Structure 1
């Protein structure tokens, strides 16, 4: 499947493999779309907690976002709930507005990174982009 724009990812259950050229095109488009938003939520569908957290951290670093803190002590790096989260597929949801992320075990998901842009002043800028590969920013 050739990917020429973010809209090509819409509706996919799992992120496709991307060529370097496709990644560059998507990064440029994503940067332009993100610039129009005030804050973001992130969803990561991953095979285990450490992969979800690594994806979040790479995304934060690449986009110069402040790191989100784990909500309710569910820190996949060894905190409460880590053993359960490491047992299988997980969904991580991060929210810049609250400054936190949560992590839960969830079967039946695909794999990938979703980013939603929020702009109360400009609702036309709001959208969800992805799924992008887990290593899109890594």
Structure 2
């Protein structure tokens, strides 16, 4: 399903998308407000970034860390070549793993995690790569 087929009004509208939609300012502000409340209730985040390059992906991680006042995470696994990248960052471990991955869409996935196993973690997104600018 493409973002042109559905209207993006709430976080759940992103669930069926393979790649991040283009959002207008009002959509971004509404989604960010909804996302922030879910993040504030979580214990830690895991972040997945589908990006055209490692540099772009790492810049996005740094913006998210700053926006939510997270500790700076360290990239422990780097790809041996250039290309489209998938980054997986785990706030709990402080580690970022990066690998070349062809055929992915573009976007940011945020998973809100909990120490209490009775609470369900939820992956939200994909958000546009410029969502946290």
| TM-score (normalised: structure 1) | 0.87
Deviation of 1:36 after TM superposition, in Å, equals 1.2
Q: What is the number of residues matched between the two proteins?
A: 128
The separation in 2 between residues aligned to 1:98 and 1:122, in whole angstroms, is 18
- Provide the residue aligned with 2:113 in structure 1: 118
Q: Does 1:6 align with 2:11?
A: yes
The equivalent position to 1:105 in structure 2, one of 81, 93, 100, is: 100
- Maintained 8 Å contact 1:5/1:26: yes
Q: Does 1:94 align with 2:99?
A: no
Which structure ranks higher in relative contact order (CA pairs < 8 Å, sequence separation ≥ 6)?
A: 1
Partner of 1:131: 126
Aligned counterparts of 1:61 and 1:38: Cα–Cα separation in 2 = 17
RMSD over aligned Cα atoms: 1.4
Does the 8 Å contact 1:37/1:125 carry over to 2? Answer: no
CA distance in 2, matches of 1:120, 1:37: 9
Alpha-carbon shift at residue 122 of structure 1 (Å): 6.2
Match of 2:68 among 38, 47, 63: 63
User: Which 5+ residue runs of structure 2 have no aligned equivalent?
Assistant: none
Structure with the higher fraction of residues in helix conformation: 1
Poorly superposed stretches of 4+, deviation over 4 Å:
none
User: TM-score normalized by structure 2?
Assistant: 0.90
- Once the 2 structures are TM-superposed, how far is the Cα of residue 123 of structure 1 from its aligned partner? 4.0
Structure 1: any 5+ residue segments left out of the alignment? Answer: 75-80
Q: Offset at 1:128?
A: 0.6
